Each structure stands twice: as structure tokens, then as C-alpha cells.
Structure 1
Amino acid sequence: MAPRLLVHTRTTGYRHDSIPAGIAALRTLGDFEVHATEDPAALEQPLEAYAAVVFLSTSGEILTPAGRERLAAYVESGGGFVGVHAAACTEYDWPYYGGLLGARFARHPLHQPGKAVVEDHDHPATRHLPAVWDFTDEWYDFRTNPRGRVRVLATADESSYEGGGMGADHPLVWCRDHGQGRVFYTALGHAREAYEDPAFRAHLLGGITWAARLPPP
């Protein structure tokens, strides 16, 4: 049986028009059975059947108290969690979620070309990438720098675009252990075009397989 992904895309804040493209990409990335939903009740059910839970550009407060409890228990007991782009703009009222993800969104400059510097190539999400990855995105700033609490995989080179607000050390992609589970986050993925980019698709696939403890692509 193919591994199952629960892909949650509920938004109560800004809604990215790239969400359908993201779902379509996840359905074709690997040998996954993808259950995409915006129903918060889906997170209230047992999650153990899923190899990973993916928050794909979610925003705002999206979970019920029961859903929060289920998600926390799932990751703590060994489940995989993957946050993509606006997943960092999610559940501001739930302190646990900020610790789970590693950092929360603060602001972003205009969508524009820039450069991501790969800091750690010893990870399935980044091992295929060049040392400096040219990409176009929103280059999220975060309220706090997660370094020291996460394993930073790639940083933003703020000299390569306009409007960066975190300075020389600007983590952009990271992973971490949480309880017995694994968490992967990438700030990239704003535009529909990203989900057609082979390098970004491989980046997502590597992050998901790592979080889910599946064989790397």
C-alpha cells in the first residue's frame, strides 16, 4: 500500500492561488496516496495511518481544540509534519505550534528573484541543489531566528533581492526532531510556477520523505 499524506489547505487569512497547483504536485511527486482537505474535522480523527501531515500554505487559525490535540500527539509519538510556505502564517494563537514549526512568519518583501544559499547538502531536500540556488519567491522574514532550535538547510542571501529584514543569517529551510516525530519546513512555494519547477519539486519530495521516514528519492 502506498504511503498516505494528509494535506491540509484550510485558510482563514490570506489564501494563495497556488494551493491547487501544490496539491496537484504532491499527487505526482512520488508514490503517495494524497488526502487533500480543508475540513478541520479531518485533524480530529486518528492520524496514525498517515506517513506525514502536510500544511500547504495554510493561514490563520485553522484547527479546533481537538485537532490541535490530535496533531500534537501524532508528532510527539513519531509522526511526520511538513510545513510549506504560509504554514508559518498559521495558528498564531496556539503557542505549541510555533515551537513545533520552529519560527513564525513576520513579513515579506515583493515577490522577486533572489538566491538561496544551501548550508547543508546532507539532506534529501537539498542534496540535489547547487550551492547557490536561484529562485523567485517572497523571501519570508520570521519573528525570530530559529537557528539553534532547528537544523538549518538553506538561508536567504538578502543581498540578492530587495527588502530583506533578517540580516546576514536568514534561515529559509530547516528541519527538526520534535518528540519522536520529524518536522520539515520550507518558506518557498508562493507561486504556482514553483510547483512546476523540477528542483523545487525534488526539494518538496526530499522534505516529505525525510519527515515521513520513507526511503529518500
Structure 2
Amino acid sequence: MRQALIVWGGWEGHEPEAGARAVKSMLEEEGFAVRVENTTAAFADPAIAELSLIVPIYTMSKLAKAEEANLTKAVENGVGLGGYHGGMGDAFRESTEYQFMCGGQWVAHPGNIIDYRVNIMRRDDPIMNGIDDFAYRSEQYYMHVDPSNEVLATTTFSGEHAPWIDGVVMPVVWKRRHGKGRVFYSSLGHVAKEFEVPQMRTILRRGLVWAAR
């Protein structure tokens, strides 16, 4: 049986505990044995090197050097990493090694909660199979992203809330490799209620399964 670790915490506005419950349920339905922790100390445990998948749900906060080193080494050696929104894409702002691994970092969400569209770029990819472009209401993440990411979905900024980014096309969903490990990220999922959106839930579920070894 594949083993997964969810580590939740950080800024409460992203409802990390509720998000951890939702992700745990999805992974258990996929046949994973899931352990849930709520302290970054879990990343320093040498045993994470034997896991199939790690899911950080930990907006902002800090990662100790030993935690950062053990986590990135585990992924480089083949453990999968996957997550969503600020829980993975705006975690540990001072940890550039973590950001290097994730393939991106949040920098803004102009207009805060707004209506926008998600455009599917790789309909041939199994993660996006059967999913068409869709309307979404949440924070539209503006991110600094790694050009080596394999982008599966994007969004286009209107410029209404920041005129200088009018027409900017921004990755929303991507996958990548970090050493031997697979990494998946989706910027959708500001609060737990967004797990009720079928496209958000399906993309995340498939992406986490893809990332797991």
C-alpha cells in the first residue's frame, strides 16, 4: 500500500485543517495509507524518504534548515510532492530550495476573490482528461514560475485590478520533475468549500496520484 503524509498548518485563512481532511479522504479513496501531521517537524523525519507522496498544506510560516534539507532530499530521491493554492505555492517564503522544488511561488492575487476562467492547455494529459475550460471564483494567483514546468492549465488576467498585467497568461496547474521525484501543483483552492467544485477536486486528485511513486 502506498504511504502518504499530509502536513498542515500556517495561516488559518486557507482553512488548512479542513483542506487536510479533504485531501486525506481523496487519497484514502485511491488506496493510500495516509498520515496527517500539523507541525513542520514532520519534514525532518528521515522516514519520509520511504513515502510515496508528501502533501504540504502550510501557507507562509517558516521551514527550519534541517526540515528543508530532509524534505528536498526526499523528493530528489523519488518521493512525490503535490499540493494546491497557498498551502504549497505560498509556503515557507524564505526557503528558496523549497520554491525551486515546487516550481513557483505566489506573489499576488489582484482583486482578491474574483470571477475568472481556467483554460485547459493539455487536454491529452490524463490529469486533464475530459475537463474543458471552466469558470472559477476564487483568488486568481499571480505567481513567479519556473519555465521548465509542464503547464496543464492557465488563466489570463483582465487588467481590471492591475492594468499593467492586462493579458498576462499565468499557469494555474503544472507538473514537473525534481530529481527523481514528481511534483504537481494547482493554484485552485483558497478555502475548503472549493473542493465542491468538480474540476478543482478532480484535477487535484489526479495530480496527487500522478505525483505519487
What is the TM-score normalised by the length of structure 1? 0.86
Aligned pair count reads 205
* 1:17/1:96 CA distance change after superposition, 3 Å: closer
Q: Which residue is equivalent to 2:109?
A: 108
Residue type at the aligned position of 2:176: R
Task: Look up the match of 1:22.
Answer: 19
CA 1:104–1:167 in 2, change beyond 3 Å: closer, same or farther?
A: farther
Query: Residue 97 and residue 6 in structure 1: after superposition, are their counterparts in 2 closer, same or farther (change >3 A)?
Result: same
Per-residue CA deviation, residues 64-120 of structure 1 (Å, 9 max, x unaligned), is 222111111111111101131002212222221121111211111221221000101
Q: How far is 1:210 from its partner? A: 0.8
Q: After TM superposition, list the pairs within 5 Å mapping 1:127-166 onto structure 2.
A: 127-130=129-132, 132-142=133-143, 144-146=144-146, 148-159=147-158, 162-163=160-161, 165=165
Q: Determine the C-alpha separation between the residues in 2 that align with 1:93 and 1:190.
A: 21
SS in 1 for 2:74: helix
Q: Describe the SS at the equivalent of 2:9.
A: coil
Secondary structure of 2:50's match?
Answer: coil
Deviation readout 1:123-169 (Å, 9 max, x if unpaired) = 33322311x12111101111x343x320011111323x843647432
- Closer, same or farther: CA 17–174 of 1 in aligned 2, 3 Å: closer
**TM-score, normalization by structure 2:** 0.87
Structure with the bigger percentage of helix: 2
2:160 and 2:33 map into 1 onto residues whose CA distance is: 39
Q: Map 1:194-209 to 2 at 5 A.
A: 194-209=194-209
Partner Cα distance (1:20, 1:96) in 2: 25
The answer to whether the 8 Å contact 1:123/1:206 transfers is no
Q: Is the 8 A contact 1:21 1:195 kept in 2?
A: no
Aligned-partner Cα distance in 1 for 2:197–2:169: 26
| SS of 1:153 mapped into structure 2 | strand
Aligned residue in 2 for 1:54? 55
Task: Give the aligned residue type for 1:182.
Answer: R
Q: Which runs of 5+ in 1 are unaligned?
A: none
- Superposition pairs for residues 61-100 of structure 1, below 5 Å? 61-86=61-86, 87-100=88-101
CA distance in 1, matches of 2:140, 2:54: 24
- The one-letter code of the counterpart of 1:125 is I
Stretches of structure 2 lacking an aligned partner (at least 5 in a row): none
Percent identity (aligned): 28
Flag the structure with higher strand content. 2
Letter in 1 for 2:149: V
Following the alignment from structure 1 to structure 2, what is the Cα–Cα distance between the partners of residues 33 and 153? 28
Name the SS of the counterpart of 2:98 in structure 1.
helix
The answer on whether the counterparts of 1:83 and 1:101 sit within 8 Å (CA) in structure 2 is: no
Runs of at least 4 residues off by over 4 Å: none
Cα distance, 1:19 vs structure 2: 2.1
1:192 to partner: Cα distance: 2.2
